[in-house]
Amino acid sequence: MAVTAGAPFAPAADVEAGRRKAGPCGACHGPTGTSSIPGVPSLAGQPATYLHWQLILDRDGRRRDAQMTALAAPLTDTDMADLAVWYASQTPVRPRPVALSAAEAQAGRALAEQYFCFACHGIALEGRDYAPRLSALQVDYLTSQLRRFKAGTRGDLDGAMTTATQPLTEATIVELARFIAGMPAP
Amino acid sequence: MRHIALVIVTLALGTLSLRPGSAPAQQAPPAWKQGQSAEMATSPLSPHAQPPAPKAAGEIPVDKIKVPAGFKVSLWASGINNARVMTWGDKGTLFVSSRVAGNVYAIVDKGSTREVKTIAKGLNLPNGIAFRNGALYVAEIHRITRMDGIEDKLDSPPPMTVVYDTLPKDAPHGWKYLAFGPDGKLYFNIGAPCNICLPPDTHANISRINADGSGFEYWALGVRNSVGFDWHPVTKELYFVTHGRDWLGEDVPSDRLDHAPRKGLHFGFPYCHQGDIPDPEFSKGRSCVEFAAPLLKTGPHVAGNGVQFYTGSMFPGEYRNRMFLAQRGAWNRTQKTGFKVMMVTLRGNDVPKYETFAEGWLDGDRFWGRPVYTQQMKDGSLLISDDYAGAIFRVTYQR
């Protein structure tokens, strides 16, 4: 995004240190940040700013997840910055897309437009800054996160996703998650 | 007439039929995108992301900050993620808030160094802080709380006692500025939950309560979002800044500095912007003359936050009772404006002078920091917080 201005964040962040520190994370998130566990997010190629903020939200309990809160508790700011830049530097791998009929794809795209998903996540849902790369996430994870945003248990920095998910019905959540996980290239 | 009505109905149906088949009523876009006209839909402008970590002291180019002759700027404290409002405790602790970082900090001045302690974390955009009778008051989006006797318990902070929690929970413009007025009441903003909309009666105002949470009342109305105000040291009257709406243009509307000497004045939102621009969508049947006009148009998209009257004795005599406005700079303009601390000279209700006091955070179209609030030190020097670099600068004057 051309408008991202200012100096680079976290100047001290060290990719190699991040690789070493990420060892234990690989058990669930995959050795290079591509998860094969349905409810666990892939971290490879996610924006560094997004990853770093998520670790802060995990540590402080704003993103309510007992396991991640415990794991993030001992991390220093430097650890978080290193982990974030290492995962951001890994190549994102798209999971096998959900098979959508042409009608489902069309209706799903209309929903994603109606709920302005592309405004922050990008036209290919590739993510930027705060907004994760949705195109690399699995349908189970996407579904659970939309539910948690709606329930107010998945803190987001400025409340944008909590606000956006309030009008979603359970059926819409499922439909949106399936579309995102099966979206044909734009 | 009937024919015209029919045409309108047909047009409305036509619009509806463009919407996705089974979808419910239109969903609001994210707040930053809302109010964008069709011809702006491909604009590359979007909000600047807040860094997740403060800059290291060595990465902060303090020498780039320019101030008038005789003044000097130094880096006073760093490593304070998202540092925003600063307020003093009675025993000399500087309390510092944050916004998206969710933290409140206490800084203990140890002469040549400063120790930064995080006294609360995981809060809901805790921008507003104020100190009274040994207690630190903290305003999050949805509540105002109090930490009693905090200065004696910085290493094991007391619980946050609820003072007031019947506040709207909307995230857009939901974060607050908080300050005690000369009347001992606690003032805070309830911003419009949008970029531009007809807000519910409960929003777009500056409100006040008693320190114990009783006696809620609206003080100023039609205020889109004011996250900075102060009272004149002599007249004790309230002055506040407001961020103008986005997506109306590069040069309009101007942000504003306003004067609210009495309760109940309406400052125009959403009907009229900067005192003389009717809103293209919401001004129907309304006129700008109905509303209080700005005391000063501070400039388009400057994003005024800090407002503070100077009452110290370190700066030259003419600085007394001047107002410092910290302008964080906004994103909704191709050429950035703001990223400065401005200075306002008042003469009665005239503003004979509006000039730059500190600048240099912006270099062409890139910025390395964002000045957001000021706070005076006991010796009359001026602290400037920077929520982007996570730092606090100190401005001194040598005769």
Domains of chain A (ranges, CATH numbers) = 15-89 (1.10.760.10), 102-182 (1.10.760.10)
Question: In the prediction, which pLDDT does B17 show?
Answer: 32
Residue B194 belongs to some domain of the structure: yes
Residue B36 belongs to some domain of the structure: no
Question: What ipTM score was computed for the predicted complex, to two decimals?
Answer: 0.87
Structure token pair of residue B383: 């602290």
Across the interface, whether the CB atoms of B29 and A119 are under 8 A apart is answered yes
User: From the CB of residue A184, how many other CB atoms can be counted at a distance below 10 Å?
Assistant: 11
Whole-angstrom Cα distance, residue B320 to residue B155? 37
Instruction: State the amino acid at position B364 in one-letter form.
Output: G
Q: What is the pLDDT of residues B333-365, one digit of tens each?
A: 989 999 999 999 999 989 999 999 999 999 998
Q: Which of B123, B135, B264, B136 is nearest to B207 (CA)?
A: B264
Across the interface, whether the CB atoms of A81 and B46 are under 8 A apart is answered no
Residue B342 belongs to some domain of the structure: yes
Note whether B291 and B275 are within 8 A (CB).
yes
Q: What is the pLDDT of residues A100-127, one digit of tens each?
A: 999 999 999 999 999 999 999 999 999 9
Residue B337 belongs to some domain of the structure: yes
Across the interface, whether the CB atoms of B31 and A164 are under 8 A apart is answered no
Note whether B19 contacts A: Cβ–Cβ < 8 A. Answer: yes
Question: In the prediction, which pLDDT does B1 show?
Answer: 37
- Given a cut of 90, is residue B321 above it in pLDDT? yes
If pLDDT is split at 50, 70 and 90, which confidence band does B121 have? very high
Residue B94 belongs to some domain of the structure: yes
Rg (CA), chain A: 16
- Given a cut of 90, is residue B13 above it in pLDDT? no
Question: In the prediction, which pLDDT does A11 show?
Answer: 52
Residue B73 belongs to some domain of the structure: yes
| Residue A67 main-chain phi, psi, to 5 deg | -65, -50
If pLDDT is split at 50, 70 and 90, which confidence band does A93 have? very high
Cis amide leading into B253 (omega within 30): yes
Whole-angstrom Cα distance, residue B274 to residue B255? 7
Instruction: State the amino acid at position A69 in one-letter form.
Output: T
- Given a cut of 50, is residue B88 above it in pLDDT? yes
Whole-angstrom Cα distance, residue B224 to residue B340? 22
- Given a cut of 80, is residue B6 above it in pLDDT? no
Question: In the prediction, which pLDDT does B65 show?
Answer: 98
Q: Which of B102, B67, B79, B115 is nearest to B389 (CA)?
A: B79
Across the interface, whether the CB atoms of B125 and A167 are under 8 A apart is answered no
Note whether B49 and B96 are within 8 A (CB).
no
- Supply the CATH number for residue B126's domain: 2.120.10.30
Across the interface, whether the CB atoms of B366 and A160 are under 8 A apart is answered no
Whole-angstrom Cα distance, residue A118 to residue B167? 31
Question: In the prediction, which pLDDT does B23 show?
Answer: 40
Angle between helices A77-89 and A48-60 (to 10 degrees): 140
Q: What is the pLDDT of residues B15-71, one digit of tens each?
A: 333 333 334 445 788 888 889 988 888 888 888 999 999 999 999 999 999 999 999
- Given a cut of 90, is residue A4 above it in pLDDT? no
Across the interface, whether the CB atoms of A110 and B172 are under 8 A apart is answered no
Note whether A114 contacts B: Cβ–Cβ < 8 A. Answer: yes
Question: In the prediction, which pLDDT does B10 show?
Answer: 33
Whole-angstrom Cα distance, residue B109 to residue A63? 33
Closest CA–CA distance from residue A37 to any residue of chain B (Å): 27
Q: What is the DSSP letter of B272?
A: E
Question: In the prediction, which pLDDT does A2 show?
Answer: 32
Closest CA–CA distance from residue A160 to any residue of chain B (Å): 6
Mean pLDDT of B60-84: 98
- Given a cut of 70, is residue B259 above it in pLDDT? yes
Whole-angstrom Cα distance, residue B199 to residue B22? 28
Across the interface, whether the CB atoms of B59 and A11 are under 8 A apart is answered yes
Question: In the prediction, which pLDDT does A186 show?
Answer: 62
Give the range of the structural domain holding residue B169, as residue numbers without chain letter.
51-397
Note whether A6 contacts B: Cβ–Cβ < 8 A. Answer: yes
The torsion defined by the Cα of B265, B269, B273 and B275, in degrees rounded to 10, comes to -10
Q: Which of B16, B19, B27 to mutate to test the interface with A (most CBs of A within 10 A)?
A: B27
- Given a cut of 80, is residue B375 above it in pLDDT? yes
Number of domains in chain B: 1
Chain B CA closest to residue A115: B27
Q: Name residues 274-303 of chain B within 8 A of A (Cβ).
A: none
Task: Round the average pLDDT of chain B to a whole number and report it.
Answer: 92
Note whether B344 and B257 are within 8 A (CB).
yes
Q: What is the pLDDT of residues B204-222, one digit of tens each?
A: 999 999 999 999 999 999 9
Across the interface, whether the CB atoms of A60 and B122 are under 8 A apart is answered yes
Q: Which of B234, B392, B376 is nearest to B314 (CA)?
A: B376
Burial class (CB in 10 A: 0-12, 13-18, 19+), A182: middle
Residue B17 belongs to some domain of the structure: no
Whole-angstrom Cα distance, residue B193 to residue B197? 8
CB within 8 Å of B348: residues ≥ 6 apart: none
Note whether A56 contacts B: Cβ–Cβ < 8 A. Answer: yes
User: CA quadruple B89, B91, B93, B94: dihedral positive or negative?
Assistant: positive
Across the interface, whether the CB atoms of A52 and B52 are under 8 A apart is answered yes
Mean pLDDT of A131-160: 95
Angle between helices A102-114 and A170-182 (to 10 degrees): 110
Across the interface, whether the CB atoms of A159 and B24 are under 8 A apart is answered no
Q: Which of B7, B192, B109 is nearest to B392 (CA)?
A: B109
Residue B4 belongs to some domain of the structure: no
Q: What is the pLDDT of residues A28-58, one digit of tens each?
A: 999 999 999 999 999 999 999 999 999 999 9
Note whether A66 contacts B: Cβ–Cβ < 8 A. Answer: no
Q: Which of B45, B82, B100, B140 to mutate to test the interface with A (most CBs of A within 10 A)?
A: B100
